[in-house]
Structure formats: C-alpha cells, structure tokens
Structure 1
Amino acid sequence: MIVLKIGGNVINNPATLHESLDYFASLLEPAVLVHGGGRKASQVITEMGREPVMIDGRRVTDLATLEIVTMVYAGMLNKDLVAQLQARGTNAIGLSGADGNAVLAQKRPVKDIDYGFAGDVTAVNAPLLDALLRLGLRPVLCPITHDSHGQLLNTNADTIANETATALAGMEHEVSLRYCFELPGVLTDIADHGSVIPELTPESYARYRADGQIAGGMVPKLDNAFAALRAGVTEVVIGDIASLREGRGTRIRLNRD
C-alpha cells in the first residue's frame, strides 16, 4: 500500500497539484492520500479579519480558528481534491478524522505553549481504511481529527500520514510512505536543489544533523519518518512530484541494503 502526503505548497500551485493528483491516480497499488493546506487556511483566516498565529511552524488553534480550518480542510480542500480525483477515474472518498472514527486524537496538553484545539493522534482506524481500499475506494484524509467526545481538533498532516502508514503496516501490509513537497528531496544546501541526499540511515542522519546540514523543519519530518520505519513501515521517500514519479528523492532506511 502507498500513503501519499501532499502539503500546502503543493496544493497552492495548480500545476504541481495537478501533477500530484495525476501521479496518485496512476498508482497501481491501493493508496491513501493525506493532505495539508496550511497556507490556504491562513489566507482564509486573514480574509475573515483574523490574524493567523504560528509558533515553531505549528498553528495556534483557538475556537474561531478551528471553525475556519475545519471549513477549509474538511470542506473546500478535501472535497475539491476528491472531485479532481473522480475526474481522473479514481473513486476517492474524503474523510475527516471523525468520519468512520478514522483518526482519533487528544487535545494537546498545555506545557510552555497553549496550542488551543490542536490534536495529537492516539489511534487510526486501520480496519476502516483497509475495508475501503478493498472496496476499490481511495481515502483522502484531511487534518481534522476528533477526540471521541464531540470535539474536533486540528492535527498536523505529516503526523496523520505517519500514523496512518504505521497503522496499516500493523495489519501486515507492506506500506510505502511518500512525502510530496516542493523540494526534490532532503538537501544538504537549501539553496542548491542539486544537493539531494539520495538515502538516509540513522547513522548518516546523525552526521548531517551534527554538521548542521539538516536542520529546522526538516528535523521533525525525518524523526517521524524513522519512527514510522521502526514501527513497521517498509519505506519512506521524500521529494517533489517529479522526483517521486521518477523513483528519486530521498529514501529513508533503517539499514543499507
């Protein structure tokens, strides 16, 4: 199975989004799409007269913000992606975490920062996703989850992708987790798109981090990738849509072949 995650920079670029949906529709394996859309959410929040609040790349989600991001993620973006996939002959079904109890989360505890109605994933309903895939449907998961007590929560889409891949791997599927973003892979020099690292193991990752060549927002993404592999996911690949199409990008492994 394949779990493909597309981020806000992909969604905001019509040409890249179309290429990504073409790629997803062309996959021969059962596949799940997980999408973000933070930039569009921030745009709508601003248009509605509010100020988006981000801390360390994560959105502070008060009740009014939660209402807006639910409309954007679970409504406009999710249904637009489903409609575009249907136009490509892919029988997609859009889900929030509350639909079919697909993704359960808990409100993030307040420590140094109160992120409001941000959710941390506690469970993914892998049997539901597996059943939908066996029916020939392709789930499209948005970043809205729930706590099983009637409260919706805003959850990081990278985390949902990681947890979804892990849950499906737990059902003895071979799962490939693919992160599609705007760069051709993990770079040693962010200004040089030719500096793609073709493969990362825990040992080489540690060296690149120690040298400062991998830093910032790429660190939590890679930490999640290695966590997914340790939990049974077969492979993780990170890159832009051209790289994923051509079998390139950065391949994350626990050991060298």
Structure 2
Amino acid sequence: MNKLFIIKIGGNVLDNPEALKKFLADFASIKEPKILIHGGGKIATKLGEQLGIQSNYINGRRITDSQTLDVVTMVYGGLVNKQIVASLQQLGCNALGLTGADGNVIKAVKRPIKDIDYGYVGDIKPDSVNSSLLYFLLKQNTVPVFAPLTHADGTMLNTNADTIASVLAVALGKHFDVRLIFCFEKKGVLRDVNDPDSVIRHLPKSSYNDLLTKNVFADGILPKLENAFAAIHAGVKEVLIGEASDLTKNTGLETEGTLITS
C-alpha cells in the first residue's frame, strides 16, 4: 500500500507567522500523498472577543452557541483555511480547502446533550467519511486541507480538528498505509507540563490509563490523546504527537515526539 500522511497542525504554530511558514514549507516538501487538518481556536477566540463574543471551554473543548458558530465558520472555513491554501499554492503544493460540507466529504451529527450542552458541535464516525472522493483527489495529486467544520441537517458544526484527523486516518486506512501525526508547539506529550523536555517517548494504552488517573496530562493534550487512541483502536498503525518543527523527521524512519501504540 502507498504511504499516506495525515497531519494535523494546531496550537501556537498557527499564531506564529514564521513557525507556520516553516511548517508549510516542510509539509509541501513531503513527496507522498498527504492531507492537512488545521485548527485555529486562538484566532477565533481573538476575533470573537473583538465582536463581544466570549469563548467558553470545558475539558479543553469549545462550547459553540449560535454566535460562536458564526465566528468559527468564518475564521476556520474562511480566513485560516484560505490563507493556508494560498501559502501552499505558492510553495507548489496544489491544495484544496475543504470543510465537511464540501462534496459531502464528512457528515456528522449534532452532539446530543448529556451532562454538558456543547451546542453546535459535530460528532463523526469513520463510515461518515466520503473516502472515495478523498482517494480520487489524492490520486490527482491534490492535497486536501481541512478546516475543523462538519455539517448535519443543513447546519455547519464546529468539530474538533484532532477528531477529524483521527477519523480521516481510520477511513483512509483501507486505501493507504496511514501515519497520523499531530503537530503543535511542544516536543511531544509531556510528563510535566512545566518541563518542556519531559517528553514521554512511548505511550502505550496501559501507561496512558495509569497516567490519566494521576492527572498528569494538561487539559489541552487530552483531545489529542483520546483521538490518537481511537485511531489506534480502529486499526491505524502509527500515531505520533510532536513538535511542528520536527515534521520532516516524523515523516521519515527516525521520529521525534511521542509514539502512541496499543
């Protein structure tokens, strides 16, 4: 099977023009088929505050009311997505910006209200991905660039970018040998959030469960870890969490960061 790199970029990298420029150059240089999924939460938060819309989070996840939905749709699907696509075109990488609604590529359901009402947030399953369309685009040397938005019943839904990356990895596993990489500003999953060098190099599920009970992990890393293990459980062989500046290493044989295994 051909290799496919599914790469999610988030964190402070998106807010740092120089770091983002280097990351996109590294991403464009990857010769194998690739998909990019981006976040953009801090940009949406900043614009929302300028518009008088306060952001609220629970367990690292944004609460999306109707006003917030308008903001994230504009920022994620418009501003951030198109800036990234334009930058990749300049680098000779033929990128196509997408949300889940485009080509009906990712369908979702609005998250049901249980203990918490997350608002207009989408939940997705692997069988909700139009993998045939993505396979066609990849075979045409087109690089999909996903904003963290899906759709259901005619409504856009804010959807965690880590979740989109995980679900895409699972869905495309029947077509490709997938390596899923979560890139952000830290060197990997940290044992001590105050020590940037306390990287956990290998994190099997048993160790993850143990450290979770000890409250070792910061809230912001939990969605990445949950989605990493969801992908592993569904058959994805390789998941890495690491620094965006290490992307070229993490698409080779020698890797940095944290390796997630079953």
Query: Same fold by TM-score, threshold 0.5 exceeded?
Result: yes
Paired with 1:13 and 1:92, the residues of 2 have a C-alpha distance of 21
After TM superposition, give the deviation of residue 215 of structure 1 in Å.
4.9
Q: Does 1:248 align with 2:252?
A: no
Match of 1:67 in 2: 70
RCO (CA 8 Å, sep 6+): is it higher in 1 or 2? 2
State how 1:168-179 maps to structure 2 within 5 Å. Answer: 168-169=172-173, 171-179=174-182
After TM superposition, give the deviation of residue 210 of structure 1 in Å.
4.3
Paired with 2:219 and 2:71, the residues of 1 have a C-alpha distance of 28
Paired with 2:223 and 2:116, the residues of 1 have a C-alpha distance of 18
Match of 1:223 in 2: 226
Paired with 1:156 and 1:197, the residues of 2 have a C-alpha distance of 24
Gaps of 5+ in 2: 250-254
Q: Which runs of 4+ in 1 moved over 4 A?
A: none
The partner residue of 1:13 within 11, 16, 20 is 16
Paired with 2:220 and 2:50, the residues of 1 have a C-alpha distance of 27
After TM superposition, give the deviation of residue 204 of structure 1 in Å.
2.7
Gaps of 5+ in 1: none
CA RMSD, aligned part only? 1.5
State how 1:1-257 maps to structure 2 within 5 Å. Answer: 1-122=4-125, 123-147=128-152, 149-169=153-173, 171-246=174-249, 247-254=255-262
Structure 1 residues 212 and 107: alpha-carbon distance in aligned structure 2, compared to 1, 3 A threshold: closer
Paired with 1:155 and 1:227, the residues of 2 have a C-alpha distance of 16
- Paired residue type of 1:155: T
- Number of matched residues? 252
TM-score w.r.t. the length of structure 1 is: 0.93
Q: Which moved more, 1:242-251 or 1:186-195?
A: 242-251
- Paired residue type of 2:131: A
